[in-house]
Amino acid sequence: MTTATTTLTAPDGSPRMTTATATTLTTPDGPFSLVADDGAVLASGWTDDVAALVALVHPGLRPVSVRTEASPSGDGTGQAADAVAAYYDGDTRAPARVAVRQRSGPYREHAWALLRAVEPGESVTYTELAARSGRPAAVRAAAGACAMNAAALFVPCHRVLRSDGSLGGFRYGLPVKESLLARERRA
């Protein structure tokens, strides 16, 4: 099944002919969908609304169309889907082994890379993330990087807490964030 999205042009003005692949998995935390292109995750999260995930993808990477797989395949979403299954089976490091492709400004891209280095079972505060970025005063920018993260689980923004230790926000709801953190602590 193909879902049309906005037609885009490449920087040279030529039309972009990108078709991404999407699949939705059943997890203990609810439906989890992912959108991938050439094996790299473009967007993912606890929703069955693939169109909403595609809307999170940076316009320069957003696919022109999305092919939905009923069953993940190796050349589409297979590796990412396998990592999600492995995560829920106890290998909480599995999503870190999957390529992610996101674009934004230099700070956000750097913050996303730093988030991928936060180990399962570990958490950092927005203040600590800003300090790790080399810009300790950029706490709001660190929080913004978490809020704009399109590749949930693969870029583990759920591991970032408020300075007082409370959960803060999460696009897919605090019960999911709490469940992920508890799962990672147990592993």
Catalytic residue (choose from 54, 98, 157, 161): 157
Active site (annotated) includes residue 146: no
State residue 170 phi and psi, 5-degree precision: -165, 125
Of 52, 74, 97, at which residue does a domain stop?
A: 97
Note the pLDDT tens digit of each residue in 164-185: 999 999 999 999 999 999 999 9
pLDDT tens-digit profile of 60-71?
Answer: 999 988 988 877
Assign 54 a pLDDT band (cuts: 50, 70, 90).
very high
- Does residue 8 sit in the same domain as residue 92? yes
Structural domain harbouring 173: 106-186
Please tell me whether residues 115 and 92 are part of one structural domain. Answer: no
Note whether 110 and 87 are same-domain residues: no
- The b/e string for 146-181 (b: 16+ C-beta within 10 A; e otherwise) is bebbbbbbbbbbbbbbeeeeeebebbbeeebbebbb
Q: Please check whether residues 80 and 140 belong to one and the same domain.
A: no
User: Tens of pLDDT along 81-90?
Assistant: 999 999 999 9
